Amino acid sequence: MTQYVSNPVDKDGLVAWSDEENAIWHDLVERQLKLVQSRACKEYLRGLELLNLPQDRVPQLLDINQILMRETGWQVVPVPALISFDRFFELLANKCFPVATFLRTREEFDYLQEPDFFHEIFGHCAMLTNPEFAHFTHVYGQLGYAASPQRRSYLARLYWFSVEFGLVKENDQLKIYGGGILSSPGETLYALDSPQALRAQFDIARVLRTPYRIDIMQPIYFILDEIAQLYQLSQLDLISHIDQATELGLFPPLFAAKEANHVE
């Protein structure tokens, strides 16, 4: 369930963003740009440069699509605030990235569970200008669209620990490529700096068996040797790896049950 409703898109593909939404976008981008310049991977920063996102107003999907189509053949597609797994995988399988056309409120400026326009555009679209990342996401969508619900739950963990919360080595330093981190000021700092967080080499068998929660700082992050490793992953028989992970079962979670974390 979500309190948010996507803004309508008119016949020309434009959204009539309000002055307040433009102001929220400006403040979100201004704050996050200061953090990602030294912490994001070079592929993400190059993508941001290509997108040339405006800071004084919310960008239009048409402008983003011109860049994505030129670089990797992808498009962003407006969707309601929440969509089904079927629709999500179908879109990715067709090189379309779903973007909900709403922005968080001031009350949820620092964090919200729903993926809003800032998360999708600022967090993810820069990486979609990278051919290897884009290819991995395309293959992922094709696999997910054809997969059973049980296999999709394992695919969700792969997406979570790569596209959303992935780290990568760059000149002996850790950098961020996951959009879930790069759209969150707190997690952009936490993922690289926190002594509490675990950071492990990306291993497909371990990733598929690692539980996660969406409403906490991640207890563990997985590190690629380079972004090209995503393309290599897309060439594996991922369904076979999922079936092996299913037989072995999940690892114990690295976090408390949600109920135990509730504070009055």
Task: List the catalytic residues.
Answer: 119, 124, 164, 183
**Number of Cβ within a 10 Å radius of residue 65:** 18
Give the residue carrying structure tokens 């296999």.
151
Supply φ then ψ for residue 3, to 5 degrees. Answer: -85, -10
- Residue that is written with structure tokens 């800032």 in the block: 118
Q: What are phi and psi of 238, to 5 degrees?
A: -65, -30
Strands (E) in the chain, as ranges, are 75-79, 96-100, 167-170, 173-176, 198-201, 220-224
151 token code pair: 């296999």
Q: 127 with 82: CB under 8 angstroms?
A: no
